[in-house]
Amino acid sequence: AQSVTQPDIHITVSEGASLELRCNYSYGATPYLFWYVQSPGQGLQLLLKYFSGDTLVQGIKGFEAEFKRSQSSFNLRKPSVHWSDAAEYFCAVGAGNYGGSQGNLIFGKGTKLSVKP
């Protein structure tokens, strides 16, 4: 069955430190992969997406992610975290019959990021 696992429920980093959020997926075909961010009381905002091609993708707000097929992973990274990055981060894989970006998204349970001053 298709699934997404985010092993870390809560991560705390100091402002200015680097960040890596882990994501592992289970999907039979070439996956469409996404990272979304959700601030308290808000909807989801897309940070970046991977469909094909270069396995290192750049997103908004200085985030990047690397697709590693051999490890079934799509980890999110940022070299220097800002206090405004505190939020919940969700990894998702696109599934369904209408194209991975248009089909139903399968989300992980999320990783809450706290930033220490």
Partner 1 sequence: DAGVTQSPTHLIKTRGQQVTLRCSPKSGHDTVSWYQQALGQGPQFIFQYYEEEERQRGNFPDRFSGHQFPNYSSELNVNALLLGDSALYLCASSFTGTLDEQYFGPGTRLTVT
Q: Which spans of this chain sit near partner 1 (rule: CB under 8 A)?
A: 4, 34, 36, 41-46, 49, 51, 90, 92, 96-99, 101-110
Please measure the distance between the N-terminal and C-terminal CA atoms of the chain and give it in whole angstroms. Answer: 41
Q: Where are the beta strands (DSSP E) in 30-86?
A: 32-38, 44-50, 56-58, 64-68, 73-78
Beta carbon of residue 4, minimum distance to partner 1 (angstroms, whole number): 8
Beta carbon of residue 27, minimum distance to partner 1 (angstroms, whole number): 15
Nearer to partner 1, 31 or 108 (CB): 108
Nearer to partner 1, 79 or 96 (CB): 96
Kindly state the DSSP code that residue 31 receives in the 8-state scheme: P
CA torsion 113→40→96→29, rounded to 10°? -10
Beta carbon of residue 117, minimum distance to partner 1 (angstroms, whole number): 26
